Amino acid sequence: MTTNHTTTPAPFLPIPAPAARIGTTAGATLALIGTFLAWTWTDQFPGDLTVTGYPGGLQVLTLISAALTLLLTLSGYGIPGLRWLTPGGTNSPVRLLALGTLGTTGYTIGAIAYDLGGVVNLEPGAWVSGIGALIATITALGLPGDQPHTDPRTTAWQRFRNSLAAPQAPRPKALPSWAEILIIVAAFGIGLYVFAYGIDTDYTELFIGFLITTGFAFTALHRAGLVSRLTALTTKHRNITLAAALVAAVCFPFTQQKEEYALIGANILIFGTVALGLNVVVGLAGLLDLGYVAFLGVGAYAAALVSGSTMSAIGVEFPFWAAVLTGAGASLVFGVLIGAPTLRLRGDYLAIVTLGFGEIFRLTVNNLNGNSGPDLTNGSQGIPSIPDLNFFGFDFGLKHNILGFDLGRSANYYLLMLVFTAVVVLVFRRSGESRIGRAWVAIREDETAATAMGINAFRLKLLAFALGATLAGLAGTVQAHVNYTVTPEQYQFAGSVPPNSAFLLAAVILGGMGTLSGPLVGAALLYLIPAKLQFMQDYQLFLFGIALILLMRVRPEGLVADRRKQLEFHENDQPDVPEPRHPEETGAGITKAGA
C-alpha cells in the first residue's frame, strides 16, 4: 500500500490544500511581477533598483527565487514534464522556496530602509514583491506534508527537520544515455554560473542575498529529490561527470573580469586541494591530525628556498618541476619522520601530538633567523620576493590572450593549480577505491578488528600520513608563488586568515568526510564567505563553531555525504514500531505465559 502524499494533513497551518496551492501560486507570481517595478527612487542603494522593467541587483535574486517557487508549485498540479523535477514530493520544497523568497525580499527591504534612512525610500515594486512573498509563505505552510505526520508527539522542530531531510527518490523512468549526459552537462553549467555569480558580487548586500537564495534553493531541490536523482546520474556516468567538472572549472577564469576574483578562485583550489589531502588522513584512515597545515608550510618553504628568491639562504634557482618535486619530497620526508614515532598512538593522544608538531614547525621556522638559530628561513620576515613561474617560456606573471580572453596572473595560477587539483583528485579516487583504501576504512571503523583480520594498521596509517603530507606539499609549492612570500604566521593552528589547521579540518567536516567533492565544497564555502564579507574575518572562528554546531544538529554527515555516513547518522530516523496491545504479543509475554 503506497502513501498518497497529496492527502497527508498539513503539518503547519490548517488551510485547505487547493486554497493553499492557489495562494502560493498567486503569491509567487506577485513577487515575481514586483521585481520588474522600481524598488527605490534613488540609485544610492547599490545595484540601481530604480529601473522599471529591468530587474537588477537583489531584484534578480528575488526573481529567481520566486520563479523557482512558482515552477515547483506548478509541478504539484501534475503538469507533464515538471514532475521529473520533484521525485521526492513538491510541497516541502515549495515551503522552503517560499521562505527563501520572503527572506531575500525581506532582507532587501530592510537593507534599503537601513542604508537610505527609512521605509519611505521604498517604491511600490518592493511592497508588491514583499506582500507576494508573504502570501506565498503563509499559504505554503498550509500545503499537505510530503511525509505523514501521524504521531501527535512530533514537535515543530522535528517537522522542520523532516522538511530538510531528503526522501528516497523513486526510481525514475529510464532516459536515453545522451539525455542523461546532457542533464549532467547542464547541471555543471548551472553550477558554474552560480559559482561565478557569487564571486562576481560587488557589494556585501548582494552577496548576503545570494547566500540566502542559494541556501534555500539548494535545500529545497535536495528535499524535492532532484539532487538525489542527479547524483544517481553522475554515479552512472562517472567519467563523463569528472570530464564535465574539469571543463566547468577550466571555463571559470574566462568568466572573470577582475583579477581579485580570479585570485579567490585560485586560493579556493589551493585550500580545497589541501583539504582533500587531509581527507585521506581524517576521512579515510580516521586519524585526527590537528597540525596538518605544517605540511603545507614545509612544501611552501622548500619551494621558496629553491625558486630563486633574493632572500633565500640557499641561493639556487630550480626549474619549476624540480621545485615541485622538492616541496612534495620535503613534505613526504617530514610526514614519515613525524608519523613513524607517533602513529602508534590513537584518538586524543594522536591529536595532541600532531597539534604539537604544527606548533613546533611554526616556532622553528620563526627561530631560523640567524640569531636564535641558523640563518635559513629569515625568521618572522619569511622568504619574500619569490619570482613568478616561467614554464617553457610561459610567464605566469604576465597577461596572456587566450581565445580572445585576457587572462591575468591570478587566472594563470588558477589554471596551474587546477592541474594539481586534478592530479590530487585522481590520486584520492584511485587510492580510495583500491584495496589500500578499503583497509583505511576498516582501520577507521575499528582498528582492533582490522588488525585481527590481518591488516597491518601501523604501516597503512603511516602510508596515509605520508600521502596526505605529499599532497599538501604539492599545493604549498604553488601557494608560495601565488603569494610571493611565505611567513610563519600563515601556518597556525587557528587564525583569522586561512589556511590553518582549524580551517582545513572544518572544511573536511563541513563538506563530508571520506567523500571526493565534500572537502572541495567545504573549502570553497569557508574561504569564499569571509573573503566576500570582510567584516566577518574577526569573528571567523566563532562563526566556524556556529556553523559546525548547526551542521551537527541538522546534517551531521556533512553537505556531501557517502552512503555509509547517512546510514550511520540517520539509523534512528526510521518510524517507531507500534506498541503491542497485549503482553502475549511480545516475547516477554510468551515467556511469562509459558512459565
Query: What integer pLDDT is reported at residue 162 of this predicted model?
Result: 52
Q: What is the DSSP letter of 583?
A: G
Q: What is the 3-state secondary structure (H, E, C) of 253-302?
A: HHHCCCHHHHHHHHHHHHHHHHHHHHHHHHHHCCCCCCCCHHHHHHHHHH
Query: What integer pLDDT is reported at residue 4 of this predicted model?
Result: 42
Same domain, 377 and 468: yes
Q: What is the DSSP letter of 53?
A: S
Contacts of 309 (CB under 8 A, 6+ apart): 383, 384, 385, 386, 387
Domain-located, residue 591: no
Q: What is the DSSP letter of 282?
A: I
Same domain, 193 and 47: yes
Same domain, 181 and 291: no
Query: What integer pLDDT is reported at residue 262 of this predicted model?
Result: 87
What gap in Å lies between CA 345 and CA 178, rounded to an integer?
Answer: 51
Q: Which of 501, 534, 567 is the last residue of a domain?
A: 534
Same domain, 96 and 187: yes
What gap in Å lies between CA 546 and CA 539, rounded to an integer?
Answer: 11
Classify each residue of 60-78 as buried b or exposed e, where b means 16 or more C-beta atoms within 10 Å of its C-beta.
bbbbbbbbbbbbbbbbbee
Domain-located, residue 38: yes
Contacts of 563 (CB under 8 A, 6+ apart): none
What gap in Å lies between CA 34 and CA 126, rounded to an integer?
Answer: 7
Same domain, 320 and 195: no
Q: Which residues pair with 400 in a beta bridge?
A: 407
- Beta strand 394-395 with 390-391: parallel, antiparallel or unpaired? antiparallel
How many distinct structural domains can be found in the chain?
2
Query: What integer pLDDT is reported at residue 148 of this predicted model?
Result: 41
Residue that the C-alpha cell 585526527 belongs to? 288
Q: What is the CATH number of the domain that holds 437?
A: 1.10.3470
CB 475 within 8 A of CB 277: yes
Same domain, 89 and 132: yes
pTM given for the model: 0.82
What SS3 state is found at 437? helix
Query: What integer pLDDT is reported at residue 566 of this predicted model?
Result: 62
Could you give the C-alpha distances from 318 to 114, 219, 221, 326, 471, in angstroms and in order?
A: 56, 49, 50, 9, 20
Same domain, 92 and 137: yes
What gap in Å lies between CA 195 and CA 177, rounded to an integer?
Answer: 27
Q: Which of 534, 555, 571 is the last residue of a domain?
A: 534
Query: What integer pLDDT is reported at residue 595 of this predicted model?
Result: 36
Same domain, 229 and 365: no
Q: Inter-axis angle of helices 238-251 and 226-236, to 10 degrees?
A: 110
What SS3 state is found at 394? strand
Could you give the C-alpha distances from 418 to 58, 235, 411, 531, in angstroms and in order?
A: 32, 22, 10, 20
- Residues of the chain where predicted confidence (pLDDT) is lower than 50: 1-7, 148-154, 157, 160, 163-170, 574-595
Amino acid sitting at position 478: V
Domain-located, residue 156: no
Same domain, 229 and 278: no
Same domain, 362 and 397: yes
Domain-located, residue 90: yes
Range of the domain at 491: 258-534
Number of H helices and E strands in the chain, helices first, is 22, 4
Query: What integer pLDDT is reported at residue 594 of this predicted model?
Result: 39
Same domain, 135 and 207: yes
Same domain, 411 and 267: yes
What gap in Å lies between CA 267 and CA 479, rounded to an integer?
Answer: 8
